């Protein structure tokens, strides 16, 4: 079985801990690191727990301008967007492919996936598998899943048959164009696409094992224990645990809410903290992603990236350029020159209301009021009266 994860250098320590846990419990597996970054100077593959490292420029992302495509993604969006192409490529060489987020740790062997992939082509794990029982848990977990996706794409498994490869191509194509953290428009990187996948692809299995993908979002119905040095979830082997939100502090906060004082969960967190620190966490945290820097080493500003990804005209005009370059006819030069013109893209709500008031009080707005009223009246006739006439006819 082949397992891969996707990171930039900031998550390198976590990826090492994940890879070592995989090798401990599944020594015959292959572990591949997908890196959306430049390899650190001191990186030596033979000293790492990875069997192979594939950088983003070697994935073959199907876009005309790779630098521009990368530029339009935040760090999290980028490390997610490449997962589809990586899966698509790996299924050409490997029979069974599993993805695990870098903040996951394997705690028992998961060779059960070998058997499941003999029977099924695609495997997902849902965030929740049991209905919540009180309103706060509905809000924290079920409504959160409605916003972020029913299935947690910190894990998936796919078989290299026709159906599995068709899914991988679809997943790749969607992520190339639509891997965005844009919940207002129904997107949260790759996870919302998973919601419709069971309707589009047959032989997709929803894996509800209580030991699979355990995290704070499903602790309301999973009791974690430890016996003879092994972890269990609802008295079945705890296969892999997901430390989602570890860096932001959300994991610790939600653990306090859902652990019910279970010392085993805090012991597991303490162990994980020590492991990532021993594998270079303090060094990894200091690394700035290569693709978050301009050619002169200055950091890409979120406003600069946000404006570029929202404007098709800018993307077309600068389509043959590298947005990371600052000199010459570059996007950065244009942004600085026209910063005042573009200021409206970053206004507060009050700024917009003030500007609307200016428009509404202008002579041109008052002068055209009768025309707008006539237009509105005619529109109502067209929408309400005309369909009835046509129906009678």
Q: Is the pLDDT of residue 37 over 80?
A: yes
Strand 230-233 versus strand 180-182 pairing type: unpaired
pLDDT at 337 over 90: no
User: Tell me: the pLDDT tens digits for 18-36?
Assistant: 999 999 999 999 999 999 9
C-beta of residue 150 within 8 angstroms of C-beta of residue 97: no
Q: Are residues 244 and 317 in the same domain?
A: no
Considering only residues 21 and 336, tell me which one the structure prediction assigns the higher pLDDT. 21
Confidence bin at 392 (pLDDT 50/70/90): very low
Give the pLDDT of residue 379.
Answer: 58
Q: For 291-330, write each residue's pLDDT tens digit.
A: 999 999 999 988 899 999 988 988 999 999 999 998 888 8
DSSP state of 177: H
Phi, psi of 274 (to 5 degrees): -65, -40
- Given a cut of 50, whether residue 343 has pLDDT beyond it is no
Percent of the chain with pLDDT over 90: 78
Percent of the chain with pLDDT over 70: 85
Q: What does the pLDDT average to over 209-234? A: 96
Q: What is the mean pLDDT of residues 252-279?
A: 96
Judge if 306 and 340 occupy the same domain. Answer: yes
**Claim to verify: residue 116 and residue 262 sit in the same structural domain:** yes
Same domain (yes/no): 314, 278: no
pLDDT at residue 367 is higher than 70: no
| Residue 90 reports pLDDT greater than 60 | yes
Q: How confident is the model at residue 215 (pLDDT cuts 50, 70, 90)?
A: very high
Q: Which of 251, 284, 317 is the last residue of a domain?
A: 284
pLDDT at 376: 63
Distance CA 376, CA 84 (A): 47
Contacts with 45 (C-beta within 8 Å, 6 or more apart), sequence order? 52, 53
Residue 271 has pLDDT above 50, yes or no: yes
166-182 residue pLDDT tens: 999 999 999 999 999 98
Confidence of residue 333 (pLDDT cuts 50, 70, 90): confident
Residue that finishes a domain, picked among 284, 302, 324: 284
Tell me, yes or no, whether 23 and 139 share the same domain: yes
Domain boundaries, position 324: 293-346
Number of domains the chain contains? 3
Average pLDDT over every residue of 96-113: 96
Last residue of a domain, one of 346, 366, 381: 346
Let me know whether 262 and 329 are in one domain.
no
List of residues 6+ apart from 97 with CB closer than 8 A: 1, 2, 3, 4, 87, 90, 91, 157, 158, 160
Kind of pairing between the strands at 236-237 and 96-100: unpaired
2-14 residue pLDDT tens? 999 999 999 999 9
- Distances in whole angstroms, Cα of residue 266 to Cα of each of 231, 256, 262: 13, 9, 7
Verify that 267 and 236 share a domain, yes or no.
yes
- Residues 243, 327, single domain; the answer is no
One domain, residues 162 and 197: yes
- Which parts of the chain are beta strand (E)? 2-7, 30-35, 52-55, 96-100, 104-106, 122-124, 155-159, 180-182, 187-189, 204-206, 224-227, 230-233, 236-237, 240-242
Q: Are residue 249 and residue 224 in the same domain, yes or no?
A: yes
Structure tokens at 86: 């990586």
Residues 94 and 162 in one domain: yes
User: What is the predicted pLDDT for the residue at 144?
Assistant: 93
Q: Within this chain, do residues 64 and 205 fall inside the same structural domain, yes or no?
A: yes
Give pLDDT, residue 350.
57
Confidence (pLDDT) at 223: 96
CATH number, domain containing residue 201: 3.90.550.10
């Amino acid at each position: 079985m082949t397992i891969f994860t996707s990171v930039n250098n900031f998550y390198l320590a976590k990826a090492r801990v994940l890879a070592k846990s995989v090798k401990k419990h599944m020594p015959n597996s292959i572990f591949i690191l997908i890196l959306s970054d430049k390899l650190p100077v001191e990186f030596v593959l033979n000293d790492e727990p990875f069997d192979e490292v594939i950088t983003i420029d070697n994935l073959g992302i199907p876009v005309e301008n790779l630098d521009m495509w990368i530029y339009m993604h935040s760090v999290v969006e980028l490390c997610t967007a490449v997962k589809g192409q990586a899966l698509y490529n790996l299924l050409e060489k490997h029979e069974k492919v599993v993805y695990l987020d870098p903040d996951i740790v394997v705690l028992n062997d998961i060779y059960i996936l070998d058997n499941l992939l003999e029977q099924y082509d695609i495997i997902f794990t849902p965030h929740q598998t049991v209905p919540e029982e009180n309103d706060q848990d509905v809000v924290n977990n079920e409504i959160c899943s409605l916003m972020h996706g029913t299935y947690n794409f910190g894990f998936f498994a796919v078989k290299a048959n026709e159906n599995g490869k068709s899914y991988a191509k679809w997943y790749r194509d969607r992520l190339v164009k639509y891997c965005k953290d844009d919940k207002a428009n129904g997107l949260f990187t790759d996870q919302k696409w998973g919601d419709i996948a069971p309707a589009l692809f047959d032989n997709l299995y929803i894996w509800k094992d209580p030991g699979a993908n355990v995290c704070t979002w499903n602790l309301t119905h999973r009791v974690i224990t430890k016996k003879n040095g092994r972890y269990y979830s609802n008295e079945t082997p705890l296969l892999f645990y997901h430390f989602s939100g570890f860096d932001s502090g959300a994991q610790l906060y939600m653990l306090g809410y859902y652990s019910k004082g279970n010392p085993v969960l805090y012991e597991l967190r303490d162990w994980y903290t020590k492991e990532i620190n021993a594998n270079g966490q303090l060094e990894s945290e200091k690394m700035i992603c290569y693709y978050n820097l301009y050619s002169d080493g200055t950091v890409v500003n979120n406003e600069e990236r946000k404006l570029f990804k929202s404007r098709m005209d800018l993307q077309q005009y600068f389509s043959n350029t590298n947005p990371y370059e600052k000199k010459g006819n570059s996007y950065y030069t244009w942004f600085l020159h026209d910063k005042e013109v573009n200021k409206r893209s970053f206004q507060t709500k009050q700024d917009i209301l003030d500007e609307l008031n200016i428009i509404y009080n202008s002579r041109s707005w008052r002068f055209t009021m009768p025309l707008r009223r006539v237009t509105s009246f005619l529109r109502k006739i067209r929408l309400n009266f005309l369909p009835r006439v046509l129906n009678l006819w």
